[in-house]
Amino acid sequence: MLQVGSENSRPIYLHYEDLGKGKPVILLHGWPLNHQSWELQVPELVARGHRVITYCRRGFGQSSKPSTGYDYDTLAEDLHKLITHLDLREVTLVGFSMGTGEVARYLSTYGDERISRAVFISGILPALLKDDDNPEGIDGKIFDEMIREIKQDRFAFMQKFFNDFYGHGLINISEVSNAVKDFSWSVACQASPIATVNCVESWYEDFRNDISKIKVPCLVIHGSGDKITPLKNTGLRLKQMLPRCRYVELEGAPHGLIVSHAQEVNARLVDFLRPEALRHEESALIPH
């Protein structure tokens, strides 16, 4: 446990796990899950010689569940405190879904002195909320309805949500077993009700300015069948804003592709983490 703050008389702790040896990789989970969502990535990365750190975002899993701090500035600060507490260097940040915002905000705020690479999987970038300045975003009424349903019956909402989370494109086909969806539901139910709602509101954040400050080699992975953060609103736009990124589009893959398409995702991660791959990516960032 790492204390990252306090609320009234009680400390706010982050629960984290630190496994393996080698160059550090930090995996940032999506909403409304916790560090357990990386179950299919951690053993593979450790076996490949990486030190793998996972943690529960505040409000989720075994971390403290305060009433505040679910904005991206605070969440990035929590990540920064973990990195400095462990004195990590040459870190690869891997964000999934909501976690991609923390990666972008961290790099924008704290720079890349300790960071060597960044990975964005099923991301929410560059800006989800549709408005006059962001016509390619998603109608805010969708988020408003999500919040209304969560407040009314959080557990029923999560059952429906994970059908889409693991659902295949426009066809109502599940990419995972019912047992996986049941487990994801049980994990989501552990989250703080306040955190569950407030994190949805945090998705209104515009990360375009953050993205413009990212200079490290990047990998973007997105599924063409993503129902939660549709490819045209997110992954394809991020690819355009990071023209030198390594871009991987998995045909038909749903939002929860770190489970449904774990083998493909792991292979891409392992390849991107190779030292020789980093040298190649860095050379591509140097103007010729």
Hey, which residues are catalytic here? 97, 226, 255
Nearest to 185 by CA among 28, 36, 56: 36
Q: Which two tokens stand for residue 2?
A: 């790492």
Distance CA 252, CA 114 (A): 35
- Based on its alpha-carbon atoms, the radius of gyration of the chain, rounded to whole angstroms, reads 18
Nearest to 29 by CA among 166, 167, 104, 122: 122
User: In this structure, what is the dihedral angle of CA atoms 102, 119, 279, 274, given to the nearest 10 degrees?
Assistant: 120
Residue 100 CA: distances (Å) to CA of 27, 157, 207, 235: 10, 23, 10, 11
Half-sphere exposure of 137 (CA within 13 A, CB side): 23
Beta strands in 102-164 (DSSP E): 115-121
Distance CA 201, CA 204 (A): 6
Q: Amino acid letter at 105?
A: R
Q: Please provide residue 10's backbone torsions phi and psi, each rounded to the nearest 5 degrees.
A: -115, 140
Distance CA 94, CA 205 (A): 19
Distance CA 284, CA 219 (A): 13
